[in-house]
Amino acid sequence: MPIDPEALLAKKFPEVEHAYSVRDTILYALGVGAGHDPTDPHELRYVYEEDLFALPSMAVVLSHPGFWMREPDTGIDWRRLLHGEQGLVLHAPLPVAGKVIGRTRVTGLVDKGAAKGALLYSEREVIDAASGTLLATLSSTTVLRGDGGRGGTTDQAKAPHQIPEREPDETIALPTSPQAALIYRLSGDDNPLHADPKVAAAAGFPRPILHGLATYGLACRAILKMCCSDDPARLKALAVRFSAPVFPGETLRVAAWRDGRIVSFRASVAERGVTVLDNGRAEISAD
């Protein structure tokens, strides 16, 4: 059946409880490349249980509602969807272990026409189960390539953040390991596209690709290093548009433009010169 825009907006999602451990926090950090230099104390703070910190981007794997767009009652052509954008607002530092509750809702649908598809906006709150504290708000844009021309609930698409037209203030290169996707998938996304060469080939890729949210985590590490003195408590928000995949083993080059508390950023693959993250925007606290 085709999608019903009003039904999507009214869809009720069950709360998702998610208990995670120090081990899970370390595993997530390893999956986004932390600890590449095991003698760097700034890297060790994310992968060694002594005085451990959680990477802020780990919020994206907490209390996830699962692949709900595959459910028949949504009417979504799930085989043709793409993860277009990811945003994160931090309200409090993530605990290194604990139990959280996820509350998901659909916030809008933009119909771009039968030939162009639609944009689905959704949001997830991550709440500390013990205290009731709101830890993070996650926002996602999903490109529904097969579901245009059926109406929408939102008139216009959100305007992307604009990158300044000047040379970047700073650039950093972060390597990824050939095993990066195999590690990251242990944090919850076990799509075989990121592990099985046969599945990747069927999808048109020469080999398995890195998860988009793993690339997002690498960008988070880059912003922490360049703009936050590697203090995770200083990162308040992080949003980006996905533009191309990364292959495990490639080097992510992140360029940043600082304008007070707002950081614009873009990421490319050094080996191929391809932009993989664009229209990036981070908000940081004062020094």
Catalytic residues: 189, 194, 209, 212
Q: Are 54 and 232 in contact (CB under 8 A)?
A: yes
> For residue 87, what is the enclosing H or E element?
strand 81-90
- Residue 263 burial (10 A CB sphere; 0-12, 13-18, 19+): buried
- Beta-sheet pairing, 118-128 with 134-144: antiparallel
CA 223/CA 126 separation, integer angstroms: 22
Q: Which residue, chain included where needed, has tokens 């998702």? A: 16
- For residue 172, which of 95, 40, 41, 270 has the smallest C-alpha distance? 270
Cβ(241)–Cβ(277) below 8 Å: yes
Angle between helices 212-227 and 22-31 (to 10 degrees): 90
Q: Measured in whole angstroms, how far is the alpha carbon of residue 195 from the centre of its chain?
A: 19
Distance CA 114, CA 166 (A): 37
- How far apart are the C-alpha atoms of 63 and 162, rounded to whole Å? 31
Measuring CA to CA, which residue among 181, 91, 85 is closest to residue 141? 85
| 189's tokens | 């996304």
